[in-house]
Structure 1
Amino acid sequence: MIKKTAPDFTLEDLNGQKVSLSDLKGKIVILDFWATWCSPCIQSFPGMQASIEKYKDDDRIKFIFVNTWESDINPQEKVKTFLKNNNYLFNVLFDNSNTPVNAIATSYGVRGIPHKVVIDQNGFIRFESSGSSSNINSIVSEMSAKIELILTEPQPNN
């Protein structure tokens, strides 16, 4: 586990609503940086969908898929079509609109995608990883282990 401050951000979701990391304080946030053209990203999605399903009733956990590095003029439409065609229920934010190009990916030091960042309830990055597997059980186990380590860590008294 690492412990460094997660850069705050405000990005738009699929509906044009603004979402800020600071609004999610108190939750464990899993950021998955990805693009529709990224084969390793797409291979990891069944495992990420299974992870979302595992934690769907736990309001302490929030999965966010940060779409970045898209070359398409209209990434929102491309992503909507991709999600619909694959039946993914991802909460997607766009690192391509109304911000300097890929500003969030840059602030998180993303050099390759997929890139996953797990942020604890206090806004600290606790885990980072690049690349992925296509093994659904492996991805769910990895995500679960990271989440459970954070959940069982003693929290400072405020």
Structure 2
Amino acid sequence: MKRKLTFVVVLLLSGVVLARSSGGGDEKTKPVPAPEFTGVTEWINTKPLTMADQKGKVLVVHFWTNGCVNCVNNYPRYRAWQDKYKGDKGLVMIGVHTPEFKAEKDVDRIKDRMAKHKLSFAVAVDNDSANWKAWGNRYWPCVYLVDKTGHVRHYWEGELGDDGYKAMTRTIDALLAEQPAKEK
């Protein structure tokens, strides 16, 4: 009986670890300053951006790579955000393209895939994984929400799906509605 109970406990604990490590889910985090963009190989659809220049705006920063099927499955949600917030100067979408494989480093291929999938947001090409490391990122795709004061407030690891898209959209709307505290 004792061995059976131990086995069941081990299985349950393994399930918790697997559920956490498999990604997905709206993760709230203690607000921490968003890392500055670093070592960007090239910027696509924008002039070079800095975190410092984005103060007062809400940022959707998402890590992706054009060869990742889970990233491709998020494209409809990215397009939906592009459409929903089009012309809203308070929201900036920034993709950080960090390749997993050598072929994904080709900037022309990134641009081609973006055009094919109607993705028009700004992209930091992170061919040396400098931003991946600075953000402590672990998964493709991963979406971070940065508030108007430049602090990471929420993140979502893995595909968004309908539930993730809805939850993150509500959070984006809430962050856009926030009035940042006046600096002293």
**After TM superposition, is the score higher than 0.5?**
yes
The letter of the residue matching 2:168 is M
Structure 2 counterparts to residues 34-73 of structure 1, below 5 A: 34-70=64-100, 71-72=102-103
The letter of the residue matching 1:13 is W
Deviation at 1:143, TM superposition (A): 2.8
Bigger drift between 75-84 and 13-22 goes to: 13-22
Is 1:7–2:42 an aligned residue pair?
no
Q: Give the TM-score taking structure 1 as reference length.
A: 0.86
Residue 54 of structure 2 corresponds to 24
Structure 2 counterparts to residues 59-138 of structure 1, below 5 A: 59-70=89-100, 71-72=102-103, 74-96=105-127, 101-135=128-162, 138=163
Number of residues of Structure 1 aligned to a counterpart in Structure 2: 152
Give the share of equivalent positions with the same residue, in percent. 27
Give ranges in structure 2 of 5+ residues lacking alignment. 1-27
Residues 29 and 84 (structure 1), Cα distance of their counterparts in 2 relative to 1, 3 Å cut: same
Residues 139 and 74 (structure 1), Cα distance of their counterparts in 2 relative to 1, 3 Å cut: same
The letter of the residue matching 2:63 is F
Bigger drift between 117-126 and 7-16 goes to: 7-16
Q: Give the TM-score taking structure 2 as reference length.
A: 0.74
Whole-angstrom CA distance in 2 between matches of 1:49 and 1:139: 15
- Higher helix content, 1 or 2: 2
Larger Rg: 2
Whole-angstrom CA distance in 1 between matches of 2:145 and 2:35: 12
Alpha-carbon contact 1:51-1:140 (below 8 Å) kept: no
What secondary structure does 1:3 align onto?
strand
Residues 37 and 49 (structure 1), Cα distance of their counterparts in 2 relative to 1, 3 Å cut: same
Alpha-carbon contact 2:45-2:122 (below 8 Å) kept: no
Whole-angstrom CA distance in 1 between matches of 2:83 and 2:132: 26
RMSD between aligned residues: 2.0
Residues 147 and 134 (structure 1), Cα distance of their counterparts in 2 relative to 1, 3 Å cut: closer
Whole-angstrom CA distance in 2 between matches of 1:87 and 1:119: 24
Alpha-carbon contact 2:64-2:140 (below 8 Å) kept: yes
Runs of 4+ in structure 1 displaced over 4 angstroms?
Answer: none
Alpha-carbon contact 1:47-1:139 (below 8 Å) kept: no
